Amino acid sequence: MYSVLLVEDDLQLAKIVKKILESKDFIVTIIEDGNEALEYIKSREYDFYLIDINIPNINGLELVKYIKELKKEGKIIMITASVEEYNFKKAYEYGCDDYIKKPFHATELEVRINRLIEKKRVIEFDDYKFDLNTQDLYKNNQTINLRKKEKKLLYLLLKNINHTVDNQKIIEFVWNDSKTKNPPVRQLINELRKKFEKDYIKTVVGVGYRFEV
């Protein structure tokens, strides 16, 4: 299931969009006000943000800036009743992933979201690319060999990119089918670090590790 924060002050439209997305098994939260939306953005993680540009208090463009400043990983689709060149340009400058104009058909929204879901399955940074489906790592499109546990560890870290993953969660995810006592988390982290030319994996002392880009 994918989670969606829908920021839209047209409550009738918001309920229609919510119904469409929930029929596809999305979990949708509706917020009508920019200030309230910001509090949700700060305190929660969402897979998708659907944001109307013209909302009360904090406008949609400013919310996009906050999402990016907070290093949230969800995909952003801007919603607007009119495509003004300034707003269109600024939306992409600030980091939105797509732009949809009112009125829109349910199929159009579904297609745009599905396209972004496909993008979410591949994480790219610098010259590297990691496929979440196959758990394969590439550098300049050349495969980097990873052992099974290295793949699982990298998958977990990249699913939580720029956020700390605690040691217990790593143990449960990577060694969940093993009876190994005191799993060698630090050793596995160091082995994975050697696969990269830069030190992306940061140690958070006493807590766990964070893949930082």
How far is 152 from 93, CA to CA, in rounded Å? 34
Residues 104-113 pLDDT 10s:
888 888 888 8
Check residue 118 and give its pLDDT: 75
Give the side-chain half-sphere CA count within 13 A for 111: 7
Q: Where in the chain is the domain with CATH 1.10.10.10?
A: 123-211
Residues 62-103 pLDDT 10s:
999 999 888 787 889 998 886 676 677 888 888 898 988 888
Q: Is 30 helix (H, G, I), strand (E, B) or coil?
A: strand
**Residue 87 or 203, more confident:** 203
In the sheet where 122-125 sits, what is the strand order?
122-125, 128-131, 136-139, 142-144
How far is 165 from 101, CA to CA, in rounded Å? 38
Give me the CATH topology for the region 3-120. Rossmann fold (3.40.50)
Q: Where in the chain is the domain with CATH 3.40.50.2300?
A: 3-120
Q: Which string of b and e fits 42-71 if b means at least 16 CB within 10 Å? A: eeeebbbbbbbbbbeebebbbbbebbeeee
Q: What is the mean pLDDT of the chain?
A: 89
- Give the number of other CB atoms < 10 A from CB of residue 195: 16
Q: Output helix, strand, coil percentages for the chain, rounded to the nearest 5.
A: 40, 25, 35
Check residue 83 and give its pLDDT: 65
Across the range 36-58, mean pLDDT stands at: 91
**Residue 42 or 91, more confident:** 42
**Residue 178 or 73, more confident:** 73
What is the Cα gyration radius of the chain? 19
Q: If pLDDT is split at 50, 70 and 90, which confidence band does 151 have?
A: very high
**Hey, what are 121's tokens?**
């399955």
Which residue is listed with tokens 């400043």?
Answer: 69
Check residue 177 and give its pLDDT: 60
- Class in CATH terms, 123-211: mainly alpha
Cβ neighbours of residue 85 closer than 8 Å, sequence gap 6 or more: none
122 strand-pairing partners: 131
Check residue 178 and give its pLDDT: 58
Check residue 134 and give its pLDDT: 87
